[in-house]
A and B are shown apart, each in its own frame.
Chain A
Amino acid sequence: MARRTRTARLALLWHRTGWSLRIGALILLVHLLVAVFGPWLASYDPNEMGSGIPLSGASWAHPFGVDQLSRDIFSRVLNGSHIVIILSLSGTFVGLTVGAAIGLFSAYMGGWVDELIQRTVEAFVSIPFIVLGLLAVYAAGPESAGKPALMVLVIALLYAPRVARMARSAGLDIITHDYVLAARLRGERVWSVIWFELAPNVISTLIVEFAVRTAYAPALVATFGFLGFGIQPPTPEWGSIISENRGIFLLSPVAVLGPGACLASLIVAVNMVTEGVSRLIGQRVEIASR
């Protein structure tokens, strides 16, 4: 079999993608463009007061209306787009890395170490997302409240235990192979076994996990924003925009529904892409292992 050219391989890859993946990718692309170019697309400054008549509904000048402080909501949404995406991605990434490290370590060590880690992980998993997140924000103290870094860490904290459990079960499967035994025989350190032998073999599982978790992360960010524990106002974070305008919902529904629809379309798009990608990876894994 001759080696396929790069273009031919890409064409083959394209053929294997489903429609939901293609549509999702298109929507996601729009979101990413907005995240990058949002500030230039917006016709008003996100925090500029007096950009229109307060509490006015949807119009061509103000698609999502104007809020109580007479700020243009659409401009705020455009300006806040990158926040939710960056927070979701970095939060998930940190959570995944830490979780995978804990899970693989736990799987490799076995015995009482494994037992201890697993019970701790279970304790964390048993607390609902919101409660655990609020506890973490409270524990961090008032001076760090509202900082983006805190939000990243909170998401990481919520995700890490769940990822750890997944990584452990994937790791247990790998550990039975002789190459792990060979590494142990060489007297390699725990972390180099995990890094060189285990991690490369669970990477496809981790990628799928990353995609699934990223899809849910915007909802988390927005939830904390809505509850007022997220990013400090007046930063135009979507959850806090929805929260700010919930009082005028009856006067101007679009002030809540607009940002809400943006959030929903982002989550749906990421989910569609996620599912498509994990199917692709799943196929690849199957072919490779045969």
Chain B
Amino acid sequence: MTQMEREPGSVLDVRNLSVDYLGPQGTQRVVDAVAFSIRRGEILGLVGESGSGKSSVIYAALGYARPGGRISGGSVLFQGRSILDLAPRELGRLRGPGIGFVPQNPAAALSPHLRIINQLREIALWHGIAKSAAEAESQANEQLRLVGLPTPELLLRRYPHELSGGQQQRVCIAMALICKPALLLLDEPTTGLDVTTQAQIIALLSDLKDRLGMSMLYVTHDLGVLAQLADRLGVMYSGRIVELGRAATLFTKPRHPYTRGLIGSIPSVHGKLHRTEALEGLLRRSELPPGCSFSPRCKYAKPDCAVTPQTLEPVANGTWTACRYWREIPPAKVRGQVINERQIQHESEAAPIFEVCDLTIDYGRRKSRRGARPVVPNLTLGLNEGEVLALVGESGSGKSTIARAICGLVSPVSGKMKFRGQGFDARLGKRTQKLRQEIQYVFQNPDASLNPRAKIRRILSRPMRTYFAAKRSEINQKIDKSLEDVSLDRNYASRYPTQLSGGEKQRIAIARGLIAQPSILLCDEILSALDVSVQANIIDLMASLRRKTRIAILFISHDLAVVRELSDRVAVLFRGELVEIGPVESVFQPPYHAYTLQLLNAVPDIDKRERPGAMTSPAPLREMDSVRGCVFCMRCQWRIGDVCDSVVPPWQETAGNLRIKCHRSPAELATLAQEVSQNGLNALQSGQRSSRESN
């Protein structure tokens, strides 16, 4: 510990920091004796599940406690000055030039009624960085260019809502950078963003670190992001740091059982499951033992763990861990074996259970805008009996819209849908009850999809009563059975949703879908609202569903790693159009569609320590609307030329039943993909550059 406290040349020193919150049951310690330091030019990552107190640490480093909270002990030294003892005025002067802050949600952090220029200028003038408004504007210009926004002059005049999510986050980073702080604090800066946008932000941050030598404290729940960015890592659990050390060491040789579980819970795009040590159970703050707070969930726990408090002890080479038995735990098999060796059954002969032909979907209010591109134009897609078909793509690619059209929430403009070969009226009100029963929908956010005032029993009994007119005794039996199916205890039936954790709620939502005995289950981003360890549980549940039942599942996700693990076939969507579709193994192997490769490269992955290169920034939507040829041509790194703009590309079929919509032949695409994998991502970039030059 003493070694950690006396770090020469450190920018930020946090010592024994404690934060209390006033709750209904009295004060609760949210951050407990946290200590770390950040050196100049270093990125320290703090990772943990929600509720682990990581955000409270970042606020405390700014000398701030959220309403109801109180910094109750310890000290925070910034370049030797104690932040917690500063007067509010001095603190205000320090925030900005000393410590910059990038918030989680850029849409909420920017004032909606001020143009970007006003927001940046205000900071520069207030801190005295610029003497005049003109000077402030030129500085703002410079900052926006620094964060990779190409045309700052135009952007500065816009309002926040006129920018995309990634652009907004860049503006927030620019706002933090304009005062040239020595330390940047980032609170989950990429959580709400798309994978491709996230990759751009990560590339930007690592570039900033290299160029400006800036120190950063990066707080997130996503280990994959930190694998690419952080020099050192702190793992937090229930308000304490349980392991601290160099990122490379932590990922290859995690010591603490919690760290190992956290790493083990992450699915990977490479299909390798590290699922040897997935986390079990949940962090329940109300039931923490006096000793090691992880012991209730730890499978190596011994009886005295729950009684004896743990402190960080040095392990080796700048690594500390808060587990007294770390020597006795068998070495981690983190580089795990490949579990996803499921036998591929190409059921090409099987008739699709659900077909979508030439479906065009749009939202009502857009009809007035003549000539505008619909959300989903002319989609043709089939879902086979018993398969898991994954729909992937960025947000706004129409994934959810398709699912909503299939279940009847959105009426398509034109086109046909067929269930078991028979057409039907797509409108929800005109569907038969039988059809409604056959297609069940699981919503993204279980907090919103379960009635907070209804007990679980009531929630699960509604489909039974609506579809089967079942008797009470039969319903109770079925409810017990379906709770068992999603591995929940039957006494959950008498609870309210608010008494359940996020993962348990999502299980109930899935159970509600299954109890209707559907033949199609539509899962709309059912993992994205959940914590990593909880996600792993739901993935297991879905995997067992896939094995045990013959339900066809349409699995919508932006998380390619999960898709690789769960699905049989993958359909890649870009702006409502399919660009690639095929069996999961073929999609994740060359040849790729250019967009699929971009998506794959953007996925942060703990196996892939290198940083993704800067991606092509998204072209303005209005320009993309005017394209008649390939939808993806504006962002394509392998663009051929004018033919891409003007001619709709044909479907290219490959050996592995894979279909790619591109002008290039599969062989050509395979060579290009190989080039990229050989030369790393630089080739991808130079490829982009040369293709741009050739235009």
List residues of A whose CB falls within 8 A of some B CB: 1, 177-179, 181-188, 192, 196-197, 200-201, 203, 287-288
Q: Which residues of A contact B428 (CB under 8 A)?
A: 184-185, 187
**Inter-chain pairs besides A177-B451, A200-B451, A203-B453, 6 sampled, C-beta below 8 Å:** A178-B449, A179-B450, A185-B441, A186-B462, A196-B462, A197-B451
Which of A1, A182, A197 has the most chain B CB within a 10 Å cutoff? A182
A187 and B453 contact, CB distance less than 8 A:
no
Q: B445 to chain A: which residues have CB within 8 Å?
A: 178
A201 to B498, CA, bound (A): 13
Residue among B24, B467, B512 making CB contact with A182, cutoff 8 Å = B512
B466 near A188 with CB under 8 A, answer yes
> Contact between A187 and B452 (Cβ–Cβ < 8 Å)?
no
> Could you tell me the distance between the alpha carbons of A186 and B432 in the complex, rounded to whole angstroms?
11
Instruction: Please report the C-alpha to C-alpha distance between residue A178 and residue B25 in the assembled complex, in whole angstroms.
Output: 31
> Given A178-B449, A200-B451, A201-B452, is A187 in contact with B433 using a C-beta cutoff of 8 Å?
yes
Residues in chain B near residue A1, CB distance under 8 A: 25, 286
The answer to whether A182 touches B441, judged by C-beta atoms less than 8 angstroms apart, is yes
Tell me the nearest residue of chain A to B450, going by C-beta. A179
* Complex: A287 Cα to B25 Cα, angstroms: 12
**B24 close to A287 (CB less than 8 A):** yes
Any A CB within 8 A of the CB of B463: yes
By the criterion CB–CB under 8 Å, are A179 and B466 in contact?
Answer: no
Task: Check if B454 is an interface residue, CB within 8 A of chain A.
Answer: yes
CB-CB nearest in chain B for A187: B436
* Residue among A177, A185, A188, A197 facing the most chain B CB atoms (10 A cut-off): A185
Given contacts A184-B428, A187-B436, A188-B466, contact A196 B409 (CB under 8 A): no
Render B401-428 as a binary contact track against A, CB cut-off 8 A, 1 for contact. Answer: 0000001110000000000000000001
CA distance A192 to B452 in the complex (A): 17
B407, closest chain A residue (CB) = A185
Write the chain B residue with the least CB distance to A288.
B498
- From B431, B441, B443, B498, contact of A187 by CB (8 A): B431
B407 to chain A, nearest CB (A): 6
Most A CB contacts (10 A, CB to CB) among B433, B453, B454, B463 go to B453
Report Cα–Cα, A101/B527, bound state, in Å. 37
| Minimum CB–CB distance for A194 against chain B, Å | 13
For A197, the closest partner residue in chain B by CB is B451
| Residue of A185, A188, A200 touching B454 (CB-CB under 8 A) | A200
Report whether A185 and B449 are in contact in the complex, using a CB–CB cutoff of 8 Å. Answer: no
The smallest C-beta distance from A172 to any residue of chain B, in angstroms, reads 15
* B270 interface residue (CB < 8 Å to A): no
Closest beta carbon of chain A to B496's beta carbon, Å:
9
A178-B445, A187-B431, A196-B458 known; A201 and B466 CB under 8 Å? no
Total A-B Cβ pairs within 8 A: 59
B316 at the interface (CB under 8 A from A): no
Contact at A201–B24, with CB atoms within 8 Å? no
7 interchain residue pairs of minimum CB distance: A200-B453, A178-B449, A178-B448, A187-B436, A179-B451, A178-B443, A186-B466
* Pair B408/A177 contact, Cβ less than 8 Å: no
A289 to chain B, nearest CB (A): 8
Task: State whether B436 touches A201 (Cβ < 8 A).
Answer: no
Pair A186/B436 contact, Cβ less than 8 Å: yes
Smallest CB gap from B496: residue in A = A288
Q: Separation in Å of the A141 CB from the closest CB of chain B?
A: 42
Contact A201 B453 (CB under 8 A): yes
Q: Are B431 and A179 touching (Cβ within 8 A)?
A: no
Quote the shortest CB–CB distance from B472 to chain A (angstroms). 16
A201 touches B451 (CB 8 A): yes
CB-based nearest B residue for A174: B451
Identity of the chain A residue whose Cβ is nearest the Cβ of B434 in the assembled complex: A187
Residues of B near A184 (CB, < 8 A) are 409, 428
B466, A182: Cβ atoms under 8 Å? no
User: What chain A residues lie within 8 Å of B408 (beta carbons)?
Assistant: 185
Check if A185 sits within 8 Å of B453, measured CB to CB: no
CB contacts (< 8 Å) of A287 on chain B: these are 24
Q: Which residues of B contact A183 (CB under 8 A)?
A: 462
Pairwise interchain contact A181-B466, C-beta atoms closer than 8 A: no
Known: A185-B408, A200-B453. Is A177-B462 also a contact (CB below 8 A)?
no
Name the distance in Å between B53's Cβ and chain A's nearest Cβ: 18
Return the contact of A179 from the options B24, B286, B449 (Cβ within 8 A).
Answer: B449
Contact of B448 among A177, A187, A200, A203 (CB under 8 A): A177
In angstroms, Cα B433 to Cα A74, docked, is 65
Q: Which of B12-37 contact A (CB under 8 A)?
A: 24-25
Write the chain B residue with the least CB distance to A204: B453
B292 shortest CB reach to chain A, Å: 21
Nearest CB of A to B560, in Å: 25
A185 touches B436 (CB 8 A): yes
**How far does the alpha carbon of A181 sit from the alpha carbon of B441 in the complex, in Å?**
10
Within the assembled complex, what's the spacing in Å between the Cα atoms of A183 and B449?
Answer: 10
Q: In the assembled complex, which residues on chain B have CB atoms less than 8 Å from the CB atom of A192?
A: 466
- On whether the beta carbons of B451 and A181 are closer than 8 Å, the reply is no
Residues of B with C-beta under 8 A to A201: 451-453
Distance (whole angstroms) from the CB of B475 to the closest CB of chain A: 14
Look across to chain B and name the residue whose beta carbon is closest to the beta carbon of A201: B453
The CA of A184 and the CA of B408, in the complex, are separated in Å by 10
Whole-angstrom distance between the Cβ of A15 and the nearest chain B Cβ: 14
Q: In the bound complex, how far is the Cα of B518 from the Cα of A186, in angstroms?
A: 11
- Chain B: minimal CB distance from A227 (Å): 42
Contact with A along B456-500 (1 / 0, CB 8 A): 001000110011000000000000000000000000000000100
Q: What are the residues of chain B within 8 A of A197 when measuring CB–CB? A: 451, 454
* Residue of A178, A197, A201, A287 ringed by the most chain B CB atoms within 10 A: A178
B68 → chain A, closest Cβ, in Å? 11
Please report the C-alpha to C-alpha distance between residue A288 and residue B498 in the assembled complex, in whole angstroms.
8
Subset of 16 A-B contacts with CB under 8 Å: A177-B449, A178-B443, A178-B445, A182-B449, A186-B436, A186-B466, A186-B467, A186-B516, A187-B428, A187-B433, A192-B466, A197-B454, A200-B453, A200-B454, A201-B451, A288-B498
Residues of chain A with a CB closer than 8 A to B466's CB: 186-188, 192
**A254 CB to closest chain B CB, in angstroms?**
51
Nearest-Cβ distance from residue B289 to partner chain A, whole angstroms? 15
Interface string of B69-111 (1 = CB under 8 A from A): 0000000000000000000000000000000000000000000
Task: Tell me, in angstroms, the Cα distance from A215 to B316 when the chains sit together.
Answer: 73
Q: What is the CA–CA distance of A201 and B448 in the complex, to the nearest angstrom?
A: 13
CB of A182 within 8 A of CB of B443, answer yes
Query: CA of A187 to CA of B437 in the docked complex: distance in angstroms?
Result: 9
Question: How many angstroms between the C-alpha atoms of A192 and B461 in the bound complex?
Answer: 13
- Closest beta carbon of chain B to A162's beta carbon, Å: 24
Residues on B with beta carbons closer than 8 Å to the beta carbon of A182: 441, 443, 449, 512
Most central of A179, A183, A188, A197 by chain B CB within 10 Å: A179
* Interchain nearest-CB distance for A105 vs B (Å): 16
The reply to whether B448 and A179 form a contact with Cβ atoms under 8 Å apart is: yes
Q: Knowing A178-B445, A182-B441, A186-B466 are in contact, say whether A196-B454 is a contact too (CB < 8 A).
A: yes
